Amino acid sequence: MQELLRSTRIVLIGMATSQAIPILGSLLITRLYLPDAFGIFAAWVGMTYVAAILLTGRFEMALAIVPDGAKRRYGVLATTLTALASSTLLFMVVGVLMTGWPNLLPSIPTPLIWLFIPASLSIAISQIWQNWAAANGAYKTLSKMRVWLALCVTALQIVVGYFLPTALALALTYVVGTCIGCLISIKLLPLQLEGNLSIRQVLPQVISFFRSQKSFPKYALPAGVINSASSQLPLIFIASKFGVEASGLYALATRVLGAPIGLMGKAVLDVFKRTASKEFREQGHCRKTYRETFLILGLCALALAIGVIWLAEPAFGWLFGRAWKDAGTIAVWLMPLFALRFMASPLSYVFYIANKQGVELIWQCILLITTVASFTFSASFEQSIDFYVVGYGALYVVYLVLSYRYSKGLGGWSHNIH
């Protein structure tokens, strides 16, 4: 457990810095942009994250499973080529749709639709490089990547917000910031392939990676898209049913609440997936790593829940202004769900290690149905949040039970390492 804690601490320091930047930046951003502009931008960002998952085919999640060395580097190359090819196809599809049906999405400004493509690609490339760094155990490099990405995006949004406080400005600065962050990540961790880099040498390695990790686009890709959609659908439902102001308040609550939880959860995941994958390869199970990680996550979730329930409501009004006070109340409502998510998300990597992506896909489908039902059959904003939290939370309990079962080695591994 000491090694797990030490590695987690290294990642956590970098994550804390990268998460503190947008949180502190929000103090200025919320005074520059109105809730409706922030709500539109939040919904747009949510759609770009869904598209980014599609672009990579979810192959970046397989990098920790692949053994260290040349095979993993070819895996990075294969995943990057997948993202580039998919983004080209996406550009063609958007071009055809916008040409034939220019009013297909009347509620979304046309520039935001076009910015959707480079934003999705830059997010995809960033995720590939961050997963590669975590798979290598290069935690300090990973921290630098995240800090630079957060700094580039937040700084640009603040500077431009003084002159153009619109949703378009938020989106444009987000695209430019993430592109700069990607270039810095590539500089920090360059992709260096050994030997004669001819198509004859590279192509078989790339095809080998695709074949050995074919379960990821088959199961993990739709599961990832559904999960991302499930997390972003509340913003869309709230905006359409209760107004963009309510959507903006919800967006700020989830952004601030998700910051410390995402901070620690991602830090634990970055260490867990490398440590658990290694234990599974060597011993056929990862019970020890799972139990140690579960204990750490449980204690942290309890501490975070107490702090949020006690401080959130007065803190939001004081930090962000009177107009955003209700976001603190929403944060308190959402806290039980975020606590369970904090515990379940890092440990869910066991589904990939044990080759149980199909089971996760079924779980994600049930989650999507639960999310849609929560907002469709609710009579008020508060009731919709209650339904959402209870349904989502119950499914996370099931998720934890399943992940522990598979950590015992009740799943295949062999085809993932060849």
Q: What is the pLDDT at residue 361?
A: 92
Query: Does the pLDDT value for residue 128 go beyond 90?
Result: yes
Distance between CA atoms of residues 224 and 350, nearest Å: 15
Mean of the per-residue pLDDT values of the chain: 85
Distance between CA atoms of residues 333 and 385, nearest Å: 7
pLDDT tens, position by position, 222-270: 887 788 778 778 888 888 888 878 888 888 888 888 777 777 787 888 8
Q: What is the pLDDT at residue 266?
A: 78
pLDDT tens, position by position, 204-227: 889 999 998 888 888 888 887 788
Mean per-residue pLDDT, 178-184: 95
The pTM of this model reads 0.73
Which of the four pLDDT bands, split at 50, 70 and 90, describes residue 396? Answer: very high
Distance between CA atoms of residues 192 and 377, nearest Å: 53
Query: Does the pLDDT value for residue 414 go beyond 90?
Result: no
Query: Does the pLDDT value for residue 2 go beyond 70?
Result: no
Mean per-residue pLDDT, 161-177: 90
Q: What is the pLDDT at residue 366?
A: 95
Which of the four pLDDT bands, split at 50, 70 and 90, describes residue 156? Answer: very high
Contact 47, 172 (CB under 8 A): no
Query: Does the pLDDT value for residue 411 go beyond 50?
Result: no
DSSP symbols for 225-274: HHHHHHHHHHHHHHHHHH-HHHHHHHHHHHHHHHHHHHHHHHHHHHHHHH
Query: Does the pLDDT value for residue 379 go beyond 90?
Result: no
Give how far Cα 309 sits from Cα of 66, 263, 332, Å.
41, 19, 5
Place of tokens 């579960």: 294
Contacts of 192 (CB under 8 A, 6+ apart): 73
- For 106-166, where are the E strands, in sequence order? none
Which residue ranges make up each domain of the chain?
Answer: 1-242, 249-408
157, amino acid identity: Q
Query: Does the pLDDT value for residue 415 go beyond 60?
Result: no
**Alpha-carbon torsion angle 47, 50, 52, 53, nearest 10:** 180
Q: What is the pLDDT at residue 173?
A: 94
Place of tokens 């930047």: 21
Q: What is the pLDDT at residue 240?
A: 83
pLDDT tens, position by position, 14-45: 667 776 787 788 778 878 887 778 778 877 88
User: Taking the CA atoms of the chain, what radius of gyration do you get in angstroms?
Assistant: 21
Which of the four pLDDT bands, split at 50, 70 and 90, describes residue 121? Answer: very high
